Structure 1
Amino acid sequence: MAVHADRVLVAHASTGGSTKAVAEFVATWLRIQGLQVDLRGLDERPDPGDYDAVVLGSAVRNGALLPAAEDFVWRNARAPRTAPGAGMAVQPRHQPVAARACRILPP
């Protein structure tokens, strides 16, 4: 089933720049698909309610998403869930898979 979304937020929390680079790639790919995309750092506190879809990216440090990403999820947990969304977690190869990153998502 195809999802129609005209305006997409690609939001990221990055420390070393890798997550931002992945977010830039995703934003470029979505633009090639004909979508209007805003690429924003989570430090800008973007409002997902202004968009038809959201892609959230975060670096993973010590088995957890960055605090800005966790804050974004919890701050918007009670918002209506009519918009499609996707997420990405970028972590160094030497760190174990982040189980806590999955647990922070609200039910």
Structure 2
Amino acid sequence: MSGSLLDAGAVIGCPHGGRATPATTPSGRLRVAGFAVATSAHTYVVAGCPHTVDGVPSPCVSVRWTAADTGVTADGAAVLLDTSAAQCVSAALVPQGPPVVQAAQRKVTVR
């Protein structure tokens, strides 16, 4: 698996236009361009999702990452790549589509 590392500065959104941010700022020791590398131990929350189902608001509220075993870890957890499998979910934990990674750290790649 290859892809670019996600870090605390990555621009990530839900498929409906909401913005995903780390619930807590990743603070690991591994840093790229000054930002902590995101790992499977970090959780992301979504704000500003306008998604509705049959006229009823059903916004994305979090992102659930499924970090593949790339063989690369940071602070004991698998690093997240822009190609890592993930789903944005509603408050009822209904999958609503994959997140959109608009910008990720391109200076380091994992192959």
Q: Whose helix fraction is larger, Structure 1's or Structure 2's? A: 1
For the criterion TM > 0.5, the same-fold answer is: no
The structure that is strand-richer by fraction is 2
TM-score where L is the length of structure 1: 0.27
